[in-house]
């Protein structure tokens, strides 16, 4: 078999969200459509997900969650800057507002991240192979410093840096979504120096913002990979050619959650109940995509394979 040109980690996020989501992610893994999963340890079906990962030998990391549902750390459940008046995390956008207004305690962020690492170990029997952030919270200002220190302390080697080449060349993205993604990319770029200082690594390239949900198609995945390859800086000639390019493709496949079933303590959100979850599963399992991988010498792998 020719040497791989690209080593692609296809990560199924939100593992543990509900049993239907878990089943869809496992089906994807068994079909060779994803190669890695990221576990929400505060989700309703986290134990089921961890048991499935053991049974099917699925490479698994931690999807650190500071924005949806309930904290893992017991002391934070009785009152915390990370929680709103209803007793849940603030939510994707409100969390960012609270952070910007200086209302969040970084000591409490650290407590919760460490509690989630411990819960992960209790569920899986080992440390995460990688750790990223639900809704990209890990690259936010201040959070990134605490996050990096926790990874360093536990010797968790890999994370995600969500900067996608070609994002600005996607006029079909709704303005609000484009604005959010642009801010995510800025935060991610600002995190690079912090992660490097702590010895944390990540793949050469990230994909997934332009291929999420209804925007995922055979063509959009091919375009994202092509854009990433074309954006590579000129390297060390022969040495660069010999080493495969490493990429991570973030995906959210599954079977849509039933109403009132799943979530992280406050029920399932619209994202998890959307038919777009099944759409992603179908696209990722398309034989034409697998043929494209083979044709372009793209080898699916996991962070633990690096």
27-82: pLDDT as tens digits: 999 999 999 999 999 999 999 999 999 999 999 999 999 999 999 999 999 889 99
Give catalytic residues, as residue numbers: 13
pLDDT at 172: 73
Q: What is the pLDDT of residues 267-282, one digit of tens each?
A: 888 999 999 999 999 9
pLDDT at 166 > cutoff 90: no
Rounded CA-CA distance 6/297 in Å is: 7
For residue 271, the surrounding DSSP H or E stretch is helix 270-273
Instruction: Determine the pLDDT at residue 113.
Output: 99
Q: Which residues of 81-105 are buried (b: 16+ CB within 10 A; e: fewer)?
A: bbbeeeebbbbbeebbebbeeeebe
3-state secondary structure of 210: coil
Coil, strand or helix: which one is 38?
strand
Mean pLDDT of 93-119: 98
pTM score over 0.85:
yes
Tell whether the model's pLDDT for residue 238 goes beyond 50.
Answer: no
pLDDT, residue 8, reads 98
* pLDDT-based confidence at residue 237 (cuts at 50, 70, 90): very low
Domains and CATH numbers, the chain: 6-305 (3.20.20.370)
Residue-wise pLDDT for 191-200, tens only, equals 999 999 999 9
Question: Average pLDDT of the chain?
Answer: 94
Q: Please give the pLDDT value at position 131.
A: 99
Whether the per-residue pLDDT at 107 is higher than 70: the answer is: yes
């Amino acid at each position: 078999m020719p040497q791989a040109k690209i080593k692609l980690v296809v990560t199924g996020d939100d593992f543990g969200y509900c049993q239907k989501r878990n089943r869809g992610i496992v089906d994807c893994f068994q079909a060779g459509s994803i190669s890695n999963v990221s576990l929400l340890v505060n989700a309703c079906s986290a134990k089921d997900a961890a048991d499935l990962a053991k049974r099917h030998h699925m490479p698994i990391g931690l999807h650190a969650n500071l924005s949806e549902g309930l904290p893992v750390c017991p002391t934070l459940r009785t009152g915390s800057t990370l929680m709103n008046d209803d007793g849940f995390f603030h939510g994707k956008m409100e969390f960012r507002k609270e952070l910007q207004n200086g209302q969040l305690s970084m000591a409490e962020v650290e407590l919760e991240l460490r509690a989630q690492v411990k819960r992960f170990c209790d569920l899986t029997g080992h440390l995460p192979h990688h750790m990223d952030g639900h809704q990209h919270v890990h690259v936010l200002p201040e959070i990134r410093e605490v996050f990096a220190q926790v990874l360093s302390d536990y010797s968790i080697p890999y994370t995600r840096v969500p900067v996608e080449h070609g994002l600005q060349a996607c006029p079909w993205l709704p303005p609000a979504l484009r604005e959010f993604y642009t801010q995510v990319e800025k935060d991610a770029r600002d995190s690079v120096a912090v992660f490097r200082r702590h010895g944390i690594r990540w793949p050469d390239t990230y994909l997934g913002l332009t291929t999420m949900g209804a925007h995922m198609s055979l063509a959009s995945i091919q375009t994202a990979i092509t854009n990433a390859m074309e954006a590579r800086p000129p390297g060390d000639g022969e040495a660069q050619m010999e080493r495969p390019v490493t990429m991570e493709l973030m995906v959210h496949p599954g079977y849509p959650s039933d109403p009132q079933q799943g979530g992280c303590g406050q029920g399932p959100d619209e994202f998890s109940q959307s038919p777009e979850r099944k759409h992603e599963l179908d696209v990722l399992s398309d034989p034409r995509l697998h043929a494209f991988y083979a044709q372009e010498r793209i080898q699916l792998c996991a962070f633990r394979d690096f």
